[in-house]
Amino acid sequence: MHRVTLIPGDGVGPEVTEATRRVLEATGVLFDWDVQDAGEEVYQREGTPLPERVIESIRRNRVALKGPITTPVGTGFRSVNVLLRQSLDLYACVRPCKSYPGAKTRYEGIDIVIIRENTEDLYAGIEFEKGSEVARSLIEFIHSRTGRQIRHDSGISIKPISVYGTERIVRFAFEYARRNGRRKVTAVHKANIMKYSDGLFLEVARGVAGDYPDIEFEDRIVDNMCMQLVQKPELYDVLVLPNLYGDIISDLAAGLIGGLGIAPGANIGDDYAVFEATHGSAPKYKGLNKVNPMAMMLSGVMMLRHLGEEEAADRLEASIASVIKEGRSVTYDMKPSPDDPTAATTSGVADAVIANLGL
């Protein structure tokens, strides 16, 4: 029996989470769910979208399955998701992008894993508003120390990249590659322009690579990486990236395999792991039983592997793959046309996946 924190989230979160809970239970693996609400309604009730009790539950259970959560706009809240990753030091975001035959995409045979650093870079949240006292003194300080003049009407975001943060994410990428029989790690950066942040990332990555002679290592400048991924994605295997590039390239790679509806993910630290789809709460589809639960289900497959339930993970992944291949019980985003009247519902996809599990 695995005790797991279950966060349905908001928007389409509860629908895709329920579909995922059902298919996970249908594998026969036993779960004791510790359900924790978070998100918009919780914000109305408890004054915060991410109460401490949610974080405490994950600390207790060490593993969570999480639906997407809307970041309330204009309330002064920073992203709930960023906060969660920082509170639990979930420093590695793992996003496998794998082609499933039958998925609607221009590409086939893609099998890339994106390892994104989750705690530093421009997402560290160290920002200064245009015209604020701190922004003004920072501008003056930089001018007095370097002679460089930043325009007074500038907003400023700081981009910290540390040796510590880089070393652990790159090591994580190589360990992941080793554990999963992968042959190559590519570090992605813009070291030619940002010498002291991305340059440091590249230098540290090269150093760590020396400890893994069995795995090939190379690096790519991020703009070139975008073009390469669109032109010859089959050349790439495991990518390791600082936070911002990792965020952007994750969506690009999701596009290569057929969209956000089938792009899973995990946020992993040394002590805790939170499994969630790459997509957000898609508020306009809330309550319609319409969106694709497969991204969340495939995040559930990753969770099963993390829990050591390899056989159940293989069966569930194979069942999802066969539903995709057959193309009948899939949601609108996987049909040839989005208004296809034969599109399955969110819960209908769960029914089909469960039916196939038994075959």
Which C-beta is closer to ligand NAD: that of 35 or that of 227?
35
DSSP 205-246: HHHHHTT-TTSEEEEEEHHHHHHHHHH-GGG--EEEE-HHHH
List the one residue from 4, 69, 257, 357 that touches ligand NAD (CB under 6 A).
69
Residue count of the chain: 359
Q: Does 280 bind ligand NAD (CB under 6 A)?
A: yes
Selected range binding ligand NAD among 19-27, 69-77, 227-235, 301-309, rule: CB under 6 A: 69-77
CA 282 to chain centre: 16
CA–CA separation, 38 and 250 (whole Å): 25
DSSP 13-42: HHHHHHHHHHHHHHTT--EEEEE---SHHH
Q: Does 309 bind ligand NAD (CB under 6 A)?
A: no
Q: Does 95 bind ligand NAD (CB under 6 A)?
A: no
Selected range binding ligand NAD among 86-94, 153-161, 278-286, 350-358, rule: CB under 6 A: 278-286
Handedness of CA 209, 210, 215, 219 (dihedral sign): positive
Q: Cβ atoms within 10 A of the Cβ of 44, count? A: 10
Q: Cβ atoms within 10 A of the Cβ of 10, count? A: 24
Selected range binding ligand NAD among 41-49, 180-188, 192-200, 274-282, rule: CB under 6 A: 274-282
Residue with tokens 């706009």: 73
Q: Does 300 bind ligand NAD (CB under 6 A)?
A: no
CA–CA separation, 198 and 323 (whole Å): 42
Q: Does 85 bind ligand NAD (CB under 6 A)?
A: no
Q: Does 68 bind ligand NAD (CB under 6 A)?
A: yes
123 is catalytic: yes
Q: Does 261 bind ligand NAD (CB under 6 A)?
A: yes
- Work out how close the CB of 127 gets to ligand NAD at its nearest, in angstroms, rounded to a whole number: 17
Which C-beta is closer to ligand NAD: that of 171 or that of 279?
279
Residue with tokens 């042959």: 183
43 is catalytic: no
- Work out how close the CB of 79 gets to ligand NAD at its nearest, in angstroms, rounded to a whole number: 6
223 is catalytic: yes
CA–CA separation, 126 and 85 (whole Å): 16
Contact 226, 76 (CB under 8 A): no
Q: Does 6 bind ligand NAD (CB under 6 A)?
A: no
Classify strands 92-98 and 266-268 as parallel, antiparallel or unpaired: antiparallel
Selected range binding ligand NAD among 65-73, 110-118, 221-229, 318-326, rule: CB under 6 A: 65-73
The radius of gyration of the chain from alpha carbons, rounded to an integer in Å, stands at 21
Q: Does 329 bind ligand NAD (CB under 6 A)?
A: no
The pattern of x and - marking residues 158 through 197 that bind ligand NAD according to CB under 6 A reads ----------------------------------------
Q: Does 333 bind ligand NAD (CB under 6 A)?
A: yes
Up-side HSE of residue 308: CA atoms within 13 Å toward CB?
Answer: 3
Helix, strand or coil for residue 6? strand
Active-site choice (10, 237, 247, 333) = 247
Q: What are phi and psi of 5, to 5 degrees?
A: -75, 130
340 is catalytic: no
Q: What are phi and psi of 160, to 5 degrees?
A: -85, 130
Residue with tokens 């630290």: 269
- Work out how close the CB of 266 gets to ligand NAD at its nearest, in angstroms, rounded to a whole number: 11
**Judged by CB under 6 A, how many residues of this single chain contact ligand NAD?**
19
- Work out how close the CB of 291 gets to ligand NAD at its nearest, in angstroms, rounded to a whole number: 4
Q: Which residue has its beta carbon closest to ligand NAD? A: 280
Residues marked active site are found at: 123, 190, 223, 247
Point out which residues bind ligand NAD (CB under 6 A). 68-71, 79, 81, 260-261, 276, 279-284, 291-292, 295, 333
